[in-house]
Chain A
Amino acid sequence: MDYQDIELLRFTTAGSVDDGKSTLIGRLLYDSKSIFQDQLDAVEESSKSKGFDYVDLSLLTDGLKSEREQGITIDVAYRYFATPRRKFIIADTPGHIQYTRNMVTGASTANLAIILIDARKGMLEQTHRHAFIASLLRIPHAIVCVNKMDLVDYSEEVYDTIVSDFKAFSSKLGIKDIQFIPISALNGDNVVNRSEKMDWYQGSTLMYHLETVHISSDHNLVDCRFPIQSVIRPHTLENQDYRGFAGRVDGGVFKPGDKVKSLPSGFVSTIKTIELNGEQITEAFAPMSVTMTLEDEIDNSRGDMIVRENNVPEVSQDLEVLVTWMSASPIQARTKVVVKHTTNETVGMVKELKYKIDINTLHRIEAIDKVEMNDIARLSIRTAKPLFFDAYKKNRQTGSVIIIDEQTNETIGAGMII
């Protein structure tokens, strides 16, 4: 195995309480031999002390004291495992409505979402919400796992009904790639190993999907966007005039020799070098961190953006955003906030609350006077200085903002630009 040449896949798990998320993750870790003996010993011991007659794999992920006491997942926990094909980062998030914000957090960086459904219960309102969040956050791939098949006698009919119910709903959402798999997380059917009890299922296992789903086109490779994080000026004799722009590519492909434009100044120049640690790079694309130098002396600073001359983002002080509200204090129109976008930060004013979305029915609720924790709503925001942005559906990095409370400095909203 050439461990150095595998890709990274980030996925999130969505499901209601007790649908089996933690058990599924425990199963993936266990069957891919990513669990160490001392971790397993600890889990066996706590299972025993709780009087369970099987090893509760969910204890592997439920990390914090209060969670283990309550037996539920209350925050985002990250887990890691690797197979010879890929390295995986799992964001394990709770599924309850009051944790919508955590689900959104986990989903914001994911390439793929696993949506769990309890075979005995079928599609629930919560399942609608999980699918909606996956589509809202534009997770490119989704896998619907119908779990606890062992409790419905591995019935094909039960599975088929759930699949068609889900499809009827998800056709409205526009998730590009959805797969369905019948599993038992507890017993391991179709997780890593094929189930012998469901010969009617011809598809592949969950692990096979995770290892092979095509993720190289998940980043925007068309629209060149390079937000500047900082300017590198060594102030040494041999590098008197060196002025490097440090940042991470958010879209497109940059090459030395490309004609580029700086925002907001509008100055045009040519890329002289793209480098990291003195090594020259011939092509830079998302999500690479690099240092760029230009042929002309341009006074760029943090928050500026380097783009192509004839492909510029929107430059505006008015944002239309769909936000997930993250704070216990609601927001009303005419509230002053701080907006963080790429490497830019500015104050802004929430001008108008347009509507809320009932995330179970997808219906709009118009004429609202406040937005509360876990709500998903459309707002208009006016910022003190112009931002350079794209629609979220075009670019997840240059199309997203976080909203910060000016007084407490807490992150109170997550916004996707329309």
Chain B
Amino acid sequence: MSNYVINHLKELESEAIFVIREIAAQFENPVLLFSGGKDSILLTHLAKKAFYPAKIPFPLIHIDTGHNFPETIAFRDELVEKLGVKLIVGSVQEAIDKGRAKEETGADASRNSLQIVSLLDTLEAYKVDAAMGGARRDEEKARAKERFFSHRDEFGQWDPKNQRPELWNLFNGRKNYGEHFRVFPISNWTEMDVWEYIKLENIDLPSLYFSHQRDCVVRDGVILANSEFIKLKEGEEVVNMTIRYRTCGDMPITGAVESEADDLVKIIEEIATTRTTERGGRADDKRAETAMEDRKKQGYF
């Protein structure tokens, strides 16, 4: 590579850091939405780099569905401790108990869409005006049109047909009272970029991402962890499998892949040859062709 060119990972890093710094400068109460997945871990890592040697100047918000993997929670607490950053937890269980959200019923019940209520409640309670997340445009087709600075009306809704144009690197974060922004600093990263960068920077991840043995249930072709949160349907049985996760959502809906990949090199090799998208394993996206777009309009991440 010739002089005065940076490679694509450095360029993506540089773009994300620029955006994170813009958020801190343009908003009064920004937060980082921390899901415990690799993308939000990456985002937290980039935020640390952006402000070093100062600490990350905004809190992390975690929406706890009560259905999280225990590994995710342990990892979250350790990371927050290490960075000396404030953590705010929004609880879906609490929203249900207060009657703000209604639990789905049946064997396929999930708390995925209930997160929207807790998320919006938490953002309101802390008067958050910018919530940054680790969503990427390559994840899903509705996300391919998402802006870096995504404007939400006072009901937290996204209007895909009326998005602000984004030109050069001039990000318009101006808003009226009660409105807020979702900001996506790693919009331009692909799954491969994320893994390559994690390897390059030696970023710690929860053990879930690496190959391990686990009791599982295979439902509609999706491998789900057996846990107290799922009810077995007729004919289903628990099998011990060698698996890992490509994405970490809620325990009852996140599909695993059978995999022997127990380190980053093997994971990257596996991704390079894999034939399904990482969200292909998520039961929530399979509900309808436009499932993600519909949830996003309502205020999903």
Q: Which A positions have Cβ atoms within 8 angstroms of B?
A: 3-8, 36-39, 42, 46, 61, 63-66, 74-80, 82, 86-87, 89, 101-102, 104-105, 108-109, 215-216, 219, 221, 229-230, 232-236, 239, 242, 244, 246-248, 253, 276-278, 283, 285, 287-289, 291, 302, 326, 338, 340-343, 396-397, 400-402, 404, 409-411, 414
Partner of A246, one of B50, B138, B145, B176: B50
B107 within 8 A of A: no
CB pair A42–B289 under 8 Å, yes or no, is yes
Q: Please pick, from A104, A248, A338, the residue contacting B18 in the complex, using a CB distance under 8 A.
A: A248
Chain A residue at smallest Cβ distance from B175: A409
In the assembled complex, B287 has its CB within 8 A of some CB on chain A:
no
- Give chain A nearest CB distance to B294 CB in angstroms: 8
Give the docked Cα–Cα distance between A180 and B54 (Å): 51
Give the residue name and chain of the B residue nearest to A239 (CB).
B53
* Complex-state Cα separation, A289 to B6, whole angstroms: 11
By beta carbon, the residue of chain A nearest B164 is A411
Q: Inside 8 A of B167's CB, which chain A residues have their CB?
A: 104-105, 108-109, 400, 402, 411, 414
In the bound complex, CA of A219 to CA of B160 (Å): 32
Set of chain B residues within 8 Å of A76, measured between Cβ atoms: 145
Residues of B contacting A3 in the complex (Cβ-Cβ under 8 angstroms): 192, 196, 268
Pull 13 A–B residue pairs with CB atoms less than 8 Å apart, ordered by A.
A63-B144, A64-B293, A75-B161, A75-B163, A78-B144, A79-B138, A86-B8, A215-B5, A216-B4, A288-B6, A396-B168, A402-B168, A411-B164
1/0 contact trace for B179-220 toward A, CB 8 Å? 000000001101011001000100000000000000000000
Q: Is B169 an interface residue (CB 8 A)?
A: yes
| B18 and A402 within 8 A (CB) | no
**Min CB–CB distance A241 → chain B (angstroms):** 12
Determine the chain B residues whose CB is within 8 A of the CB of A248 once the complex forms.
14, 17-18, 169
In the complex, which residue of chain A has the Cβ closest to the Cβ of B197?
A4
- B residues with a Cβ closer than 8 A to A are 1-15, 17-18, 21-22, 24-25, 48-55, 137-138, 141-142, 144-145, 160-161, 163-170, 172, 174-176, 187-188, 190, 192-193, 196, 200, 268, 274-277, 280, 289-290, 293
Say whether chain A's binding surface is mostly helix, strand, loop, or mixed: mixed
B13, B15, B165: the one contacting A101 at CB < 8 Å is: B165
A232 surroundings in chain B (CB, below 8 A): 51-54
Question: B174: nearest residue on chain A (CB-CB)?
Answer: A409
Which residue from chain B places its CB closest to the CB of A105 in the assembled complex? B165
CA distance A291 to B49 in the complex (A): 10
A8 x B8 contact (CB < 8 A):
yes
Contact A36–B170 (Cβ < 8 Å): no
A65 in contact with B174 (CB, 8 Å): no
Chain A residues closer than 8 Å to B22, beta-carbon distance: 229, 343
A39 to B144, CA, bound (A): 14
Partner of A63, one of B141, B192, B280: B141
Contact check, B4 vs A253: say whether CB atoms are below 8 A apart.
yes
A38 pairs with B55, CB closer than 8 A = no
B159, chain A: closest CB distance, angstroms: 11
A239, chain B: closest CB distance, angstroms: 5
Min CB distance B60 to A, Å, is: 19
Residues of A within 8 A of B161 (CB): 64, 66, 74-75
Chain B residue, CB-CB nearest to A253: B4
Q: B168 near A409 (CB under 8 angstroms)?
A: no
Q: In the docked arrangement, what's the CA distance between A248 and B10, Å? A: 13
Residue B176 contacts which of A78, A216, A236, A409 (CB distance < 8 angstroms)?
A: A409
Minimal beta-carbon separation of A123 from chain B (angstroms): 28
Residues in B neighbouring A101, C-beta threshold 8 A: 165
**Chain A residues positioned under 8 Å from B170 (CB to CB):** 340-342, 400-402
Could you list 13 further interchain pairs (A-B, Cβ under 8 angstroms) beyond the known A233-B54, A287-B14? A5-B1, A6-B7, A7-B7, A36-B276, A74-B161, A77-B144, A79-B144, A105-B166, A229-B25, A276-B17, A289-B17, A302-B25, A411-B164
> Nearest Cβ distance between residue A64 and chain B, in whole angstroms?
5
Q: Which residues of A contact B15 (CB under 8 A)?
A: 287, 289
Bound complex: CA A29 to CA B25 (Å): 37
Residues of A within 8 Å of B1, CB to CB, are 5, 7
Q: What CA separation (Å) do A101 and B166 show in the bound complex?
A: 10
Complex contact B145–A63 (CB within 8 A)? yes
CB of A223 to closest CB in B, whole Å:
14
Within the complex, which residue of B18, B141, B165 is in contact with A102, where a contact is CB–CB below 8 Å?
B165
Complex contacts, A109 vs chain B, CB 8 Å: 167-169
Taking a contact as CB atoms under 8 Å apart, the answer to whether B169 and A397 are in contact is yes
Contact A246 B51 (CB under 8 A): yes
Docked complex Cα distance between A239 and B166 (Å):
37
The 10 closest A-B pairs by CB, nearest first: A63-B141, A8-B8, A409-B174, A234-B54, A38-B280, A37-B275, A289-B17, A277-B49, A108-B167, A289-B14
